[in-house]
Chains A and B, each alone.
Chain A
Amino acid sequence: MAELLAVRDLGKRYGRVVALDGISLGIAEGESLAVVGQSGSGKTTLGRLVVGLERPTAGSIRYRDGELAHRSRTRAERKAIQLVPQDPLSTLNPSRTAGANVALPLVVHGLPRGRARLVELFDKVDLAERFVDRFPSELSGGQRQRVAIARALATGPRLIVLDEPTSALDVLVQARVVRLLERLRQDLGIAYLFITHDLALVNSVANRVAVLYRGRLVELGPTDSVLRKPQHPYTRRLLSNVAVVDEAEERLKPARPDDEAVDQEFA
């Protein structure tokens, strides 16, 4: 598979704080790369650098043939890399309807943003048309996260950075969102940089896993081998917190959606 994004020796300092140090990794077209690590390990910082919210203090970020690290991005590059932000409570603008939130990238890029287009985007994330006119305060956590995903899809991206997209959701809703993301990836061929501190989730969302520890990449490999034969002691420690791998797999295998939870989601 062709490499979509390649990060080399990436570093970010905030004054004396080294948030990221010497990170090198690649993401192929349509691949889902999970980034795991405990809180403060630099996951969000990596995501912010990749989407261009901040510039790195060292290293390079290549998207296809373009070097992004030290210049402002072209329109096409902005459209191609989108973000689903970390905190689901603030992921949507509370003073706009869900539809207007999704329309924002369309407005910015001068893309068609009629009702039909919004309904189409809502449909992609399994939300009925009536949600277009709801305000974020009228939506459940899972619904908000779907709207945020619809907004990220609006520009037709090739890569979406998902910053802990399910961490504030309860397990059943989490399973539904994960299945939705997986389906979108298969249907649309979008690649994910899937940030999570929850190693148990990784098996159902990622082809490969990158493990961050204090801003450094300590392990990178196919999901199976990282989960089954972790090389770095830190990964082993992370895994031991998740209990037995197989058990964790069992527990979080995207199960049949519980009917009650579905009803709640679509209420």
Chain B
Amino acid sequence: MTRSGFLGAVIVGGLVLVAILAPWLAPYPSHAGAFVDVDLAYHPPNADHLLGTDGVGRDLLSRLLFAYRTSFLLACVVLLLAVPIGVTTGLAAGYLGGWLETVILRTTDIFLAVPSLVLAMAILGLFDPSLTMAMVAVSFAWWPWYTRLVYNVTRSIRTEGYVEAAETAGAGPLRTMFGEILPNARGPILTKMTLDAGFVILMGAGLSFLGLGAEPPTPDLGTMVAAGTPLLPDVWWPTVFSSLGIVIAVLGFNLLGDGIRDLFGADESC
């Protein structure tokens, strides 16, 4: 793996650990909830609160650590919904062809014509905003990208010798699609999933920044940025640190995604 890919793996691995171990790592675990102590409001970074406190006196470091839980939950759920749908429709369109291909591709065209964030906002506008709805809305906007990716890969693989040998041997469409084609599409799919995890986190933060995502008091990177912005520039620490939190996550996933791409790229050439 490349040096930057390795750095990405370290960042992502570290953040995952942070998210899992948040209750033990956070100096004030109770501050992740609806804790209030007005005397502590807006304390700048100091020895007790390394990243300072927010408007109701909660430790920002603690909330930041817990916010990664929200972000990773969002990324996991969105990918778990979008990838299987995208993979199945992409395989079906690319391998089976015919009217199914037309229907699937035209449907993805419609989805892809609207920017994902706008589409997710439109869906969220119809419901009460919540983290669950945000996850569903983002997934809804996301699957067509996987359909397209898997469709293109399938089209290039389906005439390979081993696919034709499997068909000649009598393998049915399901076995051929999931057993022969899909395993050879794992490089591009994994690469995209890793890159997308970063973008989904960014988009989730964007939605909650707009008040369309996680509701208070759930710790969330976007909500934290939103809460801090009106107080700039005097009370700079909530915005700066939560923004940095987003940047680090997105950067980590991007570096890792590029690393995975190189890894599989090198694999194919031999």
Contact = CB atoms under 8 A, between A and B. Distances in A.
A75 B162 contact: no
B117 to A, nearest CB: 35
A109 B169 contact: yes
Q: Which size class do A's interface residues fall under? A: 20 to 34
A86 B169 contact: no
Interface string B171-189: 1000100011001101000
A78 B162 contact: no
Nearest to B185: A95
A91 B165 contact: yes
Interface residues of B, number: 20
Nearest to B180: A93
B164 A104 contact: no
Given A93-B162, A148-B165, A108 B183 contact: no
Interface string A118-157: 0000000000000000000100000000001001101100
A51 interface: yes
Contacts of A151: 165, 169
Given A95-B186, A137-B270, A85 B161 contact: yes
A52 interface: yes
B168 interface: yes
Contacts of B186: 95
B165 A83 contact: yes
Contact of B164 (A73, A75, A85, A108): A85
B167 interface: yes
A83 B170 contact: no
A53 interface: yes
Interface string A69-93: 0000101001101111111101111
A92 B162 contact: yes
B165 A108 contact: no
A210 to B, nearest CB: 21
Interface string B235-258: 000000000000000000000000
A235 interface: no
A104 B161 contact: no
Contact of B168 (A52, A88, A90): A52
Given A94-B184, A137-B270, A83 B162 contact: no
A82 to B, nearest CB: 6
Interface string A89-105: 01111111000010011
Interface string B68-94: 000000000000000000000000000
B128 interface: no
A51 B270 CA distance: 30
B112 interface: no
Given A85-B161, A101-B162, A78 B184 contact: no
Contacts of A154: 169
A48 B161 CA distance: 11
Contact of A148 (B161, B171, B267): B161
Contacts of B183: 93, 95-96
Contact of A105 (B169, B179, B267): B169
B166 interface: yes
Nearest to B160: A90
Contact of A104 (B160, B171, B267, B268): B171
Nearest to A74: B170
Given A93-B183, A93-B184, A95-B184, A85 B167 contact: no
A82 B160 contact: no
Contact of A108 (B160, B162, B175): B175
A78 B170 contact: yes
B173 to A, nearest CB: 12
Nearest to B267: A137
Contact of A53 (B167, B175, B179, B268): B167
Interface string B130-173: 00000000000000000000000000000011101111111100
B161 A87 contact: yes
B270 A83 contact: no
A59 B184 CA distance: 37
Contacts of A85: 161-162, 164-165
Contact of A109 (B165, B170, B179): B170
> Which 3 A-B pairs have CB atoms at the shortest separation, nearest pair first?
A85-B161, A105-B169, A91-B161
Interface of B: 160-162, 164-171, 175, 179-180, 183-184, 186, 267-268, 270
Given A48-B164, A152-B165, 9 more contacts: A53-B167, A75-B170, A78-B168, A91-B165, A94-B184, A95-B186, A109-B170, A151-B165, A151-B169
7 contacts: A82-B169, A90-B160, A91-B161, A104-B171, A108-B166, A109-B170, A152-B165
Interface of A: 48, 51-53, 73, 75, 78-79, 81-88, 90-96, 101, 104-105, 108-109, 137, 148, 151-152, 154-155
